[in-house]
A and B are shown apart, each in its own frame.
Chain A
Amino acid sequence: MRRILAQARKELTQITRDRLALALALLLPILLLLLLSNSISLTVSDLPLIVQDLDSTPASRNYIDAFRSSVTFHVVAWPPDRQPEQAMQGGVARGVLIIPAHFGRDLARGQTAPVQLLIDATDANTAKLVNGYAGQINRAFIEDQTSSNATGMVQAQIRLWFNPGRDSKKFYAPGIFVLGISMFPPLLASLAMAKEGEQKTILQVYVSSISAHEFLLGKILAFMTIAMAEWLFGLIVMITVFGLHLTGDPTVLVVATIVYAFCVSTFGTMIGAAIPNQAAAIQAVALGGFLLVFLLSGLIYPVENIPPGLRWVSNIVWGRYYIAVVRDALLQGGGWPAMWFDVLMIAAIGSVFYTIAWRNMRYMQVKA
């Protein structure tokens, strides 16, 4: 045990002496969390909308006002004699609302007046959102105008649970937070390990009395400390800046975090042990820590949307399970009954990494 602690202390001392590494370990995850959580959002607002009013009656102007007063759109001017498609090609507008002549007359007669909404669907997700919002504005207008529930006899009371403001930061911040923890501790761990191989200081380890287990655990412990420090800072940022708070049983999060810190540190150590070249090790960690966790973990879009041929990979992406745990702990509060499997999977993947790293070390020791 003493040897493990000594090894961990040596690693931490080395990191605190390297300013670039220290910034990577503590500063960058927080910067990333603030930047990415703010910039990754799919809920658009203030989309430029062109209105072509061919009716010009009080009724049509009322209808336009309903759109004008929404947060989603802002109405921009466009000469009525030019094709609206041109505005979209030039990026002036993302949608066009066309109100035909006789709109006011139809409405006054109690008929259904048709209105067309052209949506720039280059971004399909935004197009769907715009369609949904426009529908809501339209229904609100009808209810307001005819002062009745013209939408029909069945009314829906829609309740949005866990995130009623549909604040996308609350959804993405936990994911980005996990991305930071999945990237920087293993990056530093792999660099430290690859450096031992590159500079042949590993030979000194071989001739010392420390065993492979003690050596590995010492390294892993050091980077677990860094991961936990990042976790703590990140959690403070999420609670203070993004207004998230712990819901449900906090032991799930704590246990999962310790296991996950072990998992990512071991991943880095394993890569470093397998690739004794710092530049190549960085690329390997960037691939595993960043690309897999960013793309195949449900961070932005649900895992179910990945085509089946690629989806099975996400079952072994460790970040996927931890993202689920963090989101649950901060938003849903499902606790152990909902999350035990995820914690177990993180532990399983972590031990696989550890076994591989250990086998690698044993092999190297025999060779030396």
Chain B
Amino acid sequence: MNGNSSQMPGFWQRLQALIRKEFNQIRRDRRLAISLIVPPIAQLLLFGFALDSTVSNLRLGLLDESKTPESRELAATFTESKSFKFGGYFFDGKALENAISRGQVDAGLVIPYDFARDLHRGRTTTIQFLLNAVNANNAAIGQGYAEGVLLSYNQSLGAHGIRPEIRLISADNSRKGSVSLTPAFLFNPGLVTTWFIVTGTLGTLLVLNGSLVASTAMIKERERGTVEQLLMTPAGTTEIIIAKILPIFILLLGMVIIAMTMVRFVFQVPFRGSFLLVFVGAALCVLCGIGIGTFIATFTRSAQQAQLLSFFVNPPLATLSGSLSPIEAMPKWLQPFTVVNPIRHFGLITRGVMVKGSGLLDVLPNILALIAFAFVLVSLSVWRFRNQLG
């Protein structure tokens, strides 16, 4: 005990001196400070505003061979909805086909010549709905919209149809039992897509920027050849590494607070759960990023090489995280890989705590996973760094 306590002041003094040195260096290196704040904020804004999956105003081309009040009523039901907008009349199938393949319209509605006649006779009539499915997501949602519009048209036929005889016939048809499925959108009733993107991007930015800043900072001494000078000081290698990591960590936490403020006030993501929980998750995420950056730095000799190497590490980290697209949409063999990705766990924490109001118990596995990753990554990189210094 005595020996320890007599050593402790020395350790803290040396560490303090080193940390002061690092802070001074960062303060004077304007580029590092700028790269700490500006790119993450710009990327958060860009991702949040540019990525919007809302499918609305699909251009609908009309081919109306019936030319009756009934067919115009159906066409109007489609174009009056927010999902579709009128994209032009076509007079033969070929023209409509060309317009779809040239991308002039996104969808086409073909009403056959016997549409109104069939309705009056109480027969089921069939319309054709063509969708450009090149964009699979738009097609799936557009198909849902079209079916919804048609459902409401059919119901209106039964309730207050344009012609009384149609109402009578269709009322007879709907006498059989039916199920009405009422959806309720929990946590995000307005279906704001940015909430998903922003909460996911936050983790990606923390890890990627954390690793970039850490690798540049770690490599700088080696690039300039000042490592030898550091090693000649009375400080040990562990102290040097702690003193290097700590200031970056503190500065990155500042960035976390700015980013979280933006998520709350610029993108209006609700904060239903505990702020502290998200902050702890973010701090762990930053530590993971620093660990990855330091690890990359130990393999390279220059900042340029480290940046090039990160091209191999960052895309898999960012895409296998579920931050931009849901993990459930990935192929089954790829999904297990996301479990070892810190961004995935942080994404689950932000979405759970901020949007759904989850508590500590709900996200405990994710927090524990982040702690494990941060511990492994940081100790691995410190170990490699120490080996290289020694």
A interface, CB within 8 angstroms of B: 20-21, 23-24, 28, 32, 35-36, 38-47, 63, 85, 88-91, 94, 103, 106-129, 131-136, 138-139, 141-142, 145-146, 148-164, 166-168, 170-171, 187, 191, 278-279, 282-283, 291, 295-296, 300-302, 304-307, 310, 324, 327-328, 331-334, 337-338
Contact B136 A170 (CB under 8 A): yes
Contact B49 A310 (CB under 8 A): yes
Known A135-B144, A279-B307: A157·B136 in contact at CB below 8 Å: no
Alpha-carbon separation in the docked complex, A328 to B180 (Å): 40
Chain B stretch 122-178: residues in CB contact (< 8 A) with chain A: 122-141, 143-148, 150-151, 153-155, 157-158, 166, 169-170, 173-178
Contact A119 B151 (CB under 8 A): no
Contact B103 A332 (CB under 8 A): yes
Known A42-B326, A135-B148, A162-B134: A301·B51 in contact at CB below 8 Å: yes
**Which of B51, B122, B150, B191 is A121 in contact with, Cβ under 8 Å?**
B191
Contact B133 A163 (CB under 8 A): yes
B232 within 8 A of A: no
B80 within 8 A of A: no
Write out the residue numbers on chain B whose beta carbons fall within 8 Å of the beta carbon of A63: 179
Alpha-carbon separation in the docked complex, A305 to B138 (Å): 12
Pick from B254-262, B356-364, B368-376 the stretch touching chain A.
B356-364
Q: 10 additional contacts, CB 8 Å, given A118-B183, A121-B186, A154-B125?
A: A41-B330, A42-B137, A43-B136, A133-B144, A142-B179, A151-B150, A163-B134, A279-B303, A291-B46, A338-B103
Contact B150 A156 (CB under 8 A): yes
Contact B157 A153 (CB under 8 A): yes
Known A40-B324, A122-B196: A132·B181 in contact at CB below 8 Å: no
**Which of B180, B192, B307, B331 is A112 in contact with, Cβ under 8 Å?**
B180
Contact A158 B307 (CB under 8 A): no
Contact B304 A295 (CB under 8 A): no
Alpha-carbon separation in the docked complex, A161 to B326 (Å): 25
A109, A149, A304: which has the most chain B beta carbons within 10 Å? Answer: A304
Contact B180 A115 (CB under 8 A): yes
B60 within 8 A of A: no
Alpha-carbon separation in the docked complex, A40 to B320 (Å): 9
Write out the residue numbers on chain B whose beta carbons fall within 8 Å of the beta carbon of A107: 177-179
Write out the residue numbers on chain B whose beta carbons fall within 8 Å of the beta carbon of A138: 179, 181
Write out the residue numbers on chain A whose beta carbons fall within 8 Å of the beta carbon of B133: 160-164, 166
B74 within 8 A of A: yes
Contact A40 B325 (CB under 8 A): yes
B265 within 8 A of A: no
Contact A150 B178 (CB under 8 A): yes
Write out the residue numbers on chain A whose beta carbons fall within 8 Å of the beta carbon of B136: 41-43, 163, 166-168, 170-171
Q: Could you list 6 examples of A-B contacts with CB < 8 Å?
A: A113-B180, A151-B154, A154-B119, A160-B139, A166-B139, A332-B103
Known A115-B182, A121-B186: A110·B175 in contact at CB below 8 Å: yes
B237 within 8 A of A: no
B244 within 8 A of A: no
Contact A306 B102 (CB under 8 A): no
Pick from B16-24, B280-288, B290-298, B308-316 the stretch touching chain A.
B308-316
Contact A160 B326 (CB under 8 A): no
Alpha-carbon separation in the docked complex, A166 to B132 (Å): 10
B276 within 8 A of A: no
Alpha-carbon separation in the docked complex, A146 to B175 (Å): 10
Task: Name which residue of chain B comes closest to A129, CB basis.
Answer: B140
B205 within 8 A of A: no
Query: What's the minimum C-beta distance from B342 to chain A, rounded to whole angstroms?
Result: 16
Task: Name which residue of chain B comes closest to A194, CB basis.
Answer: B304
Known A88-B187, A302-B135: A117·B101 in contact at CB below 8 Å: no
Alpha-carbon separation in the docked complex, A89 to B153 (Å): 37
Known A38-B334, A122-B351: A152·B170 in contact at CB below 8 Å: yes
Task: Name which residue of chain A comes closest to B173, CB basis.
Answer: A153
Write out the residue numbers on chain B whose beta carbons fall within 8 Å of the beta carbon of A161: 100-101, 130-133
Known A116-B182, A279-B304: A124·B191 in contact at CB below 8 Å: yes
Contact B188 A132 (CB under 8 A): no
A119, A158, A282: which has the most chain B beta carbons within 10 Å? Answer: A158
Alpha-carbon separation in the docked complex, A339 to B359 (Å): 52
Alpha-carbon separation in the docked complex, A131 to B177 (Å): 22
Give the 10 A-B CB pairs with smallest separation, nearest first. A132-B144, A152-B154, A160-B133, A121-B185, A121-B188, A168-B136, A305-B52, A124-B191, A338-B102, A125-B53
Write out the residue numbers on chain A whose beta carbons fall within 8 Å of the beta carbon of B187: 88, 120-122
Contact A112 B178 (CB under 8 A): yes
**Which of B128, B324, B348 is A159 in contact with, Cβ under 8 Å?**
B128
**Which of A41, A132, A136 is B329 in contact with, Cβ under 8 Å?**
A41
Alpha-carbon separation in the docked complex, A338 to B100 (Å): 11
Write out the residue numbers on chain B whose beta carbons fall within 8 Å of the beta carbon of A134: 181, 183
Task: Name which residue of chain A comes closest to B55, CB basis.
Answer: A128
**Which of A32, A88, A103, A139 is B186 in contact with, Cβ under 8 Å?**
A88
Alpha-carbon separation in the docked complex, A151 to B35 (Å): 58
Task: Name which residue of chain A comes closest to B144, CB basis.
Answer: A132
Contact A154 B127 (CB under 8 A): yes
Contact A295 B46 (CB under 8 A): yes
Known A24-B311, A39-B330: A156·B147 in contact at CB below 8 Å: yes
Contact A20 B53 (CB under 8 A): no
Alpha-carbon separation in the docked complex, A126 to B185 (Å): 11
Task: Name which residue of chain B comes closest to A278, CB basis.
Answer: B304
Query: What's the minimum C-beta distance from A18 to chain B, rounded to whole angstroms?
Result: 10
Query: What's the minimum C-beta distance from A133 to chain B, rounded to whole angstroms?
Result: 8
Alpha-carbon separation in the docked complex, A291 to B39 (Å): 11
Task: Name which residue of chain B comes closest to A136, CB basis.
Answer: B147
Write out the residue numbers on chain A whose beta carbons fall within 8 Å of the beta carbon of B102: 332, 334, 337-338
Contact B308 A153 (CB under 8 A): no
Known A88-B356, A327-B134: A125·B178 in contact at CB below 8 Å: no
Query: What's the minimum C-beta distance from B205 to chain A, rounded to whole angstroms?
Result: 12
Known A121-B186, A152-B155: A141·B125 in contact at CB below 8 Å: no
Write out the residue numbers on chain A whose beta carbons fall within 8 Å of the beta carbon of B196: 122-125
Contact A115 B181 (CB under 8 A): yes
B54 within 8 A of A: yes
Write out the residue numbers on chain B whose beta carbons fall within 8 Å of the beta carbon of A332: 101-103, 132, 134
Write out the residue numbers on chain B whose beta carbons fall within 8 Å of the beta carbon of A168: 136-137, 329
Alpha-carbon separation in the docked complex, A121 to B190 (Å): 9
